[in-house]
Amino acid sequence: MHTYRETIGGRMSTGSWRESLAGHLRGRGMELALPIATVAMVAFFAASSDVFFTGQNFRNIGIAASGLAAVAFGQTFVILTAGLDLSVGSIVALVSVVCAFVMREYGIAPGIAAALVCGAGVGVLNGFVITRFRVSPFIATLAMLSVMSGLALNLAGGVPIPGLPPGFGLIAYQSFLGIPVPVIIAAVTLLVAELTLRATRFGRHLRAVGGNEEAARLSGIPVEKIRIAAYAFCGLTAAIGSIILTARVSSGQPTLGATLPLESIAAVVLGGVSLAGGRGSVVNVAVGVAFISILANGLNLLNISSYTQMMIIGFALIVAVALDQANLRRASGG
Amino acid sequence: MTHMQADGETPPLVLVRGVGKSYPGVRALRGVDLDLRPGEVHALVGENGAGKSTLIRILSGATQPDEGTIALRGAPVTFASPRAARDNGIVTIFQELAIVPGMTVAENIVLGNEPAGGPGRQLYDRRAAEALARETLAALGCENEIDPRARAGTLSTGQKQIVEIARALALKAPVIILDEPTASLSGKEADALLAILRRLRTDGTSILYVSHRLSEVLELADRITVLRGGAHVGTRPTSAFGDPMDLIEMMVGRPLDELFPPRNNEIGALVLKVSGLTRAGVFQDIGFDVKAGEVLGFAGLVGAGRTEIMRAVFGADRRDGGVIEKDGRRLDIRKPADAIRNGIAYIPEDRKDQGLVTSLSGHENLLMASLADYCRAGVVSRGRARRAAEEVARRLQFRGQLAKPARTNSGGNQQKIVIGKWMLSRADVFIFDEPTRGIDVGAKAEIYRQIQSLAAQGAAIVVVSSETSELVHLCHRILVVSAGRIEDELVFEAFDEQRILAAAFRGHTLPTAAHAK
């Protein structure tokens, strides 16, 4: 049926390996910059503080990072579709409240189940508003941030919900094989997210939608469903993050997670995921999370106030986005 | 003819020599010369992709040439920005009008050049602006038609165009460049615009004028420059052309027989049948059919509605009515996935915007429409998917790198990725929308070979192209669409480019024709 001309077809474009290596490094510049910066930062803190470079401190960093990690992995999915989820913080708060109520009445497992359903549900709602009513992700999730914060505060009456089963707190403080449980939860989330992105049809469709929505649509990809699924996944991982954070404080907190929208977006962008969509990996986002968490921990040890930390993270986000923009300009050849 | 004659003694106002410009994968312009004399209307014509827009963009400072020189009144100039071109007296009016709808006509006319008064000359002088607006509009003979205090958003397209011309006049620009100024105007408005341009010429303004409406060009221009494939074919006084057909011959060039493989001669059963396809205001009552092994061409002008028709068949755009049948079975196509499931493929006009996800690899793009075939429980079987993609790339003689982002490949190789995507989805109806736009001649020849090879394998092929010569050499049958209707049908023994062009212009030259897009 077809004519085969393998002699020509199989040949790849030529060019010296030196050129191709240089091209490779140029393309990977962003990816390498963050791990190098992270290592440099670790070296700096290790030199400035006696307690920083200890096993116990790294366990602390891990526990502190795991909540943000879960949220950032979901955020990655949304940003890959060229979207944005500003409502993750309020999802964390709402889930914390819902989880606490259900858990107090029915026990740990139903509480966790309710938390996951609640998080994914808000995500679906986000996706629905964005795809059906064509509200931009920025506005839709900003509005949802307000709606869900208000709902969480209303449900809780504005105060923390105490009286959770004592077993629940163990999630935050137990270890398994020497690894804190929150870190294990975050690692599993990372694994699932990365495999979903790399190996599944959904993952590829997600990147296609983010890279070029029209081309994806014309290829028969159900663009709207993919978008909604991305927000649902983001809501789900926000719920996972909320469970970790709620377990740490052993109570339902209607004000939990207020800094998470900014921190999660910063981690994603630091991890080299393009805000323009389509490009990035969850593993690199994990490095972004590590960067932010180590920075916070180290600055704490150096007695630098959390207010200053906020300023530093804000600046880091601007730098990361500026680098992403410079990358995009180069890629588009203009 | 009536005015400034080519006497060879008037020194040119603008002198372009050997200008070239390349974009990744395509050489848009090479060695182009152009001279614009004071007080002449100089028309720039050519098929789509001939390099007209690139040349205009260079002259307007929107882009910079890779080679060649531009001289203004004998002194070499370089335009680093649109602002620089404007400061040198070259004002360009693009098809996308630069009008701020919320501002008044006067404010628009003085935009970027506002008369100032008051302390430190920092206050906007409304009176002076309106006086200037009134003065320039009067110079164009439109003082009664357009009120300087009206909001620009309330004006018609033709009036907005006049406001832009008034802006150029307020700047006392000696050179005005117009890109398809009449494309979206009604017959009456176009006539009014042409009258204004004649008036400007009498006052000594030089006008460079790009238009697809050849009869209009012949009526208005003093000289005509023809571009083809990015190169300068020639510049002649308008009197050298008898009718639009002479001009078309020069635009199209020699028949390019050697480019085209022989037509597939095994025509099979009817595959796709479309009838009564209608979308209000865009296209009406479109009916056509394609047989297995047949290549059906859709000729027409840009904006005639051909792309919209194909997108409706593919389910990418809505339709108000019409039946789509395949292999005698009526299809219910509501979205692209429905068409794809039924073996219909659409290869869009705009590769970068619609055909490819340029940030993803060639592999991923190739598999985009058929990933379900290579999945088990939603998980992609990498090896199998990769082998299928490589196999199809080999069949298409793809010479780029599949593992790299699609954007790093040349235009021809990108097009092969798009075609390969649909070969993998096992389509047997292929709709090509402007398949060779913006790619070089060698890559074009390969695309033609692919089309004939698909036809030889029994696929039914539809090709939309604005290059009439391409259709004439490629197709078994050609339908001509004009202003959303099928105006003519020709079979290949009786192909006649002049008849096709005449039909293509028919619907558009009617004064009442409301143009799609």
Q: What's the CATH code of the domain at B184?
A: 3.40.50.300
- pLDDT above 70 coverage of chain B, percent: 91
Q: What angle do CA B210, B214, B220 make, to 5 degrees?
A: 70
* Final residue in a domain of this structure, among B253, B272, B293: B253
* Final residue in a domain of this structure, among B153, B172, B191: B172
Q: Considering the domain boundaries, does residue B516 fall inside one?
A: no
pLDDT tens digits, residue range B180-230? 887 767 667 778 888 889 988 998 899 999 987 777 888 899 999 999 888
Whether residue A69 contacts residue A189, with contact meaning beta carbons closer than 8 Å, is answered with yes
Q: How confident is the model at residue B3 (pLDDT cuts 50, 70, 90)?
A: very low
Average pLDDT over residues B293-302: 90
CA B372 – CA B388 distance, rounded (Å) = 13
Q: Considering the domain boundaries, does residue B185 fall inside one?
A: yes
Residues A42, A47, A49, A51, CA torsion sign: positive
For residue B199, CA distances in Å to A14, B41, B172 come to: 58, 11, 15
Q: Considering the domain boundaries, does residue A289 fall inside one?
A: yes
Q: Is A193 left (phi over 0), alpha (psi -120 to 50) or beta?
A: alpha
Residues B299 and B246 in one domain: no
Contacts of A91 (CB under 8 A, 6+ apart): A119, A122, A123, A148, A235, A238, A239, A242, A257
Eight-class DSSP state of A133: S
Supply the pLDDT for residue B293.
94
Supply the pLDDT for residue A182.
95
Residue A43 token pair = 């070296």
Q: How confident is the model at residue B243 (pLDDT cuts 50, 70, 90)?
A: low
Out of A93-102, A204-213, B82-91, B147-156, give the one with best mean pLDDT: A93-102
Residues B279 and B246 in one domain: no
Supply the pLDDT for residue B517.
35
Q: Look at residue B178 and tell me whether its pLDDT is greater than 70.
A: yes
Q: Considering the domain boundaries, does residue A5 fall inside one?
A: no
Question: A200 to chain B: which residues are within 8 Å by CB?
Answer: 375, 378-380
CA B212 – CA B46 distance, rounded (Å) = 8
Nearest chain A Cα distance for residue B55, angstroms:
18
Q: Which residue among B24, B348, B372 places its CB closest to the CB of A201?
A: B372
Q: Look at residue B513 and tell me whether its pLDDT is greater than 80.
A: no
Closest CA relative to residue B307, chosen from B485, B434, B461, B488:
B434
Instruction: Give ipTM to 2 decimals.
Output: 0.71
DSSP string, B409-470: S-HHHHHHHHHHHHHHTT-SEEEEESTTTT--HHHHHHHHHHHHHHHHTT-EEEEE-S-HHH
DSSP string, A18-82: HHHHHHHHHHHHHHHHHHHHHHHHHHHHHHH-TTTTSHHHHHHHHHHHHHHHHHHHHHHHHHHTT
CA A256 – CA A162 distance, rounded (Å) = 14
Q: Look at residue B6 and tell me whether its pLDDT is greater than 50.
A: no
Q: Look at residue B97 and tell me whether its pLDDT is greater than 60.
A: yes
- B98 close contact with A: CB closer than 8 A: no
pTM summary value: 0.71
Supply the pLDDT for residue B244.
65
Supply the pLDDT for residue A317.
85
Residues B124 and B266 in one domain: no
Q: Considering the domain boundaries, does residue A136 fall inside one?
A: yes
Q: How confident is the model at residue B15 (pLDDT cuts 50, 70, 90)?
A: very high
* Residue numbers of the domain that contains A234: 33-325
Whether residue B92 contacts residue B177, with contact meaning beta carbons closer than 8 Å, is answered with yes
For residue B488, CA distances in Å to B276, B293, B299 come to: 16, 22, 10
Give start and end residues of each alpha helix (H) in B97-238: 105-109, 126-139, 157-170, 187-202, 214-220
Q: Considering the domain boundaries, does residue B352 fall inside one?
A: no
Q: Considering the domain boundaries, does residue A16 fall inside one?
A: no
- A104 close contact with B: CB closer than 8 A: no
CA A121 – CA A133 distance, rounded (Å) = 17
pLDDT tens digits, residue range B202-213? 988 999 999 877
- A333 close contact with B: CB closer than 8 A: yes
Nearest chain A Cα distance for residue B48, angstroms:
23
A-to-B residue pairs, Cβ atoms closer than 8 angstroms: 109
At which residue do the structure tokens 């409406």 appear? B213
How many folded domains does chain A comprise? 1
Q: Considering the domain boundaries, does residue A7 fall inside one?
A: no
Residues B203 and B338 in one domain: no
- pLDDT above 90 coverage of chain B, percent: 38
Q: Give 3-state DSSP helix, strand, coil % of chain A, rounded to 5.
A: 75, 0, 20
Residues B433 and B331 in one domain: yes
Q: Which residue among B314, B340, B355 places its CB closest to the CB of A215?
A: B355
Supply the pLDDT for residue A28.
54
Residues B270 and B416 in one domain: no
Q: Considering the domain boundaries, does residue B351 fall inside one?
A: no
Q: Look at residue B46 and tell me whether its pLDDT is greater than 90.
A: no
pLDDT tens digits, residue range B406-463? 888 877 788 889 989 999 988 999 999 988 775 655 667 778 888 998 999 999 999 9
Supply the pLDDT for residue B449.
85
Supply the pLDDT for residue A20.
53
Supply the pLDDT for residue A253.
94
Pick from A282-286, A298-302, B3-7, B269-273: least confident: B3-7
Q: Look at residue B101 and tell me whether its pLDDT is greater than 50.
A: yes
Q: Considering the domain boundaries, does residue B6 fall inside one?
A: no
CA A242 – CA A252 distance, rounded (Å) = 10
Residues of chain A with pLDDT under 70: 1-31, 330-334
At which residue do the structure tokens 């070089």 appear? B440
Q: What's the CATH code of the domain at A90?
A: 1.10.3470
Q: Which residue among A9, A201, A217 places its CB closest to the CB of B393?
A: A9
Residues B164 and B280 in one domain: no
Residues B283 and B147 in one domain: no
CA B481 – CA B448 distance, rounded (Å) = 22
* Final residue in a domain of this structure, among B114, B145, B172: B172
Eight-class DSSP state of A11: P
Nearest chain A Cα distance for residue B311, angstroms:
9
Residues B137 and B206 in one domain: no
Q: Considering the domain boundaries, does residue A298 fall inside one?
A: yes
Residues B78 and B182 in one domain: yes
Residues B150 and B248 in one domain: no
Classify B41 as helix, strand or coil: strand
Q: How confident is the model at residue B512 (pLDDT cuts 50, 70, 90)?
A: very low
Q: Considering the domain boundaries, does residue A3 fall inside one?
A: no
Whether residue B196 contacts residue B165, with contact meaning beta carbons closer than 8 Å, is answered with yes
Q: Give 3-state DSSP helix, strand, coil % of chain B, rounded to 5.
A: 35, 25, 35
Supply the pLDDT for residue B441.
56
Q: Considering the domain boundaries, does residue A107 fall inside one?
A: yes
How many folded domains does chain B comprise? 4
Residue A131 token pair = 């795809």
Residues B162 and B272 in one domain: no
* Residue numbers of the domain that contains B51: 12-89+174-253
Supply the pLDDT for residue B469.
76
pLDDT tens digits, residue range A194-253? 999 888 889 888 988 988 888 888 888 899 999 999 999 999 999 999 999 999 999 999
pLDDT tens digits, residue range A149-169? 999 999 999 899 998 998 898
Supply the pLDDT for residue B175.
94
pLDDT tens digits, residue range B307-326? 999 999 999 998 999 999 99
For residue B445, CA distances in Å to B452, B473, B477 come to: 11, 11, 20
